[in-house]
Amino acid sequence: MKRILYVAATAAVLAIGAGVWLSTGPSSAPESTFVLLDGSKQTTADLKGKVTLVNFWATSCVTCVAEMPRVVATYDKYKDRGFDTLAVAMSYDPPAYVVNYAETRKLPFKVAIDNTGAVAKAWGEVQLTPTTYIVNKRGAIVKRYVGEPDFGELHQLIEKLLAET
């Protein structure tokens, strides 16, 4: 009996170790359905084929509002080269505020509202805003920023990912 427990414990430690080792590289973006402001839906699968910035934000987040013009400028700079942006408003953000913000600021990219919090949960229990993910063309998360990203570094990463085939 002790031998069986020892083997089981060893297997569990190896499995956990393998999971830690595997998680250090890019991981697939979680399966999610984004409900856009126009009522249409987009899924994680729809992100494949483009480099995508997924930005969790809120209208009440001072840093989010301050960085948004740079997020827009980044989108405008790379959109014609296979880059996309998806802004995901947090569940606590009143939908009317999100719609008003997106319309008055003329956000040029897709904006989703995470009404239930399921998307933020799936993407790693996102609670702090802004939290930004960069997803490569294969649908793998290659970088996560909590707080405002260093936009120079972000642009270098986008350039590198856009050059990949």
What is the pLDDT, as a whole number, of residue 5? 38
User: Cβ distance 108 to 72 under 8 Å?
Assistant: yes
**What is the structure's pLDDT at 165?**
80
pLDDT < 50 stretches in the chain: 2-24
- The CATH code of the domain at 27-163 is 3.40.30.10
- The residues spanned by each domain of the chain are 27-163
Q: How far apart are CA 90 and CA 113, in angstroms?
A: 7
C-alpha 139, offset from chain centre: 11
Instruction: Report the alpha-carbon distance of residue 30 to residue 146 in Å, rounded.
Output: 18
Residue 1: the pLDDT is 54
The whole-number pLDDT of residue 7 equals: 37
Q: What is the pLDDT of residue 16?
A: 35
CA distance 64 to 55: 9
What pLDDT, on the 0 to 100 scale, is given for residue 46? 95
